[in-house]
Chains A and B, each alone.
Chain A
Amino acid sequence: EPEVTQTPSHQVTQMGQEVILRCVPISNHLYFYWYRQILGQKVEFLVSFYNNEISEKSEIFDDQFSVERPDGSNFTLKIRSTKLEDSAMYFCASSETGHSSNQPQHFGDGTRLSIL
């Protein structure tokens, strides 16, 4: 069964540095997402991406964050000037369709980001 793959599985970075989290969505999917989950807390929506542009973003997704689809397969989340509170598990997800659909979002295994 096709999977969403994320790399790296664990990223350790010094506060203030930039990180890029990588995702390869399922190949025939058109909608891509980033979520984060701080340890012990709920999964939080960050951003959705369709047709090479952001379609929605949450209040968490401020100027510190950006997303990109640099080629036909990768979907990246960049976090600039990382802060301690950015430490979390970051999940990438993709879905075949979006609105008014029972197509679920398929999640990758996540990247655990640790900011020191």
Chain B
Amino acid sequence: GQNIDQPTEMTATEGAIVQINCTYQTSGFNGLFWYQQHAGEAPTFLSYNVLDGLEEKGRFSSFLSRSKGYSYLLLKELQMKDSASYLCAVRGSGGYQKVTFGIGTKLQVIP
């Protein structure tokens, strides 16, 4: 089976850095995605990791450790518009396209 854990809520200050953690237990592993979802809207793609290490994309970075079943999303220079849910999603080896989502971490950015 697939199990993905991430904190349900976090609060951070505008301009600061926040790290959102995700741990997973899956039957096989074929990549981990991070999506952003504003309330009532569709998920939008942020990052993809399939090898260990850090992927950087502007203010957003994502890290993966396959041996630990662990990833984090790092958001720098937080802006108010970053207030959203951040979804960790894993593609296991049970199928080629099926992606299993975590519950999402609701991030609130405060002034």
Contacts and interface: CB of A to CB of B under 8 A. Distances in A.
Given A48-B98, A58-B98, A91 B42 contact: yes
Contact of B98 (A45, A102, A109): A45
Nearest to A39: B40
A102 B33 CA distance: 9
B29 to A, nearest CB: 12
B interface, over-half SS: loop
Given A41-B103, A42-B104, A102-B48, A107 B42 contact: yes
Given A107-B42, A107-B43, A109-B42, A100 B30 contact: yes
A106 interface: yes
Contact of A107 (B30, B44, B48): B44
B97 A99 contact: yes
Contacts of A33: 97
B45 A105 contact: yes
A25 interface: no
Nearest to B95: A56
Interface residues of A, number: 25
A45 B33 contact: no
B64 interface: no
A99 B97 CA distance: 6
Contacts of B99: 45, 105
Nearest to A105: B99
Interface of A: 31, 33, 41-45, 48, 50, 55-56, 58, 91, 95, 98-100, 102, 104-110
Interface of B: 30-31, 33, 37, 41-45, 48, 50, 87, 89, 95-104
Give 6 nearest A-B pairs by CB, closest first: A104-B45, A99-B96, A107-B42, A48-B97, A43-B101, A56-B95
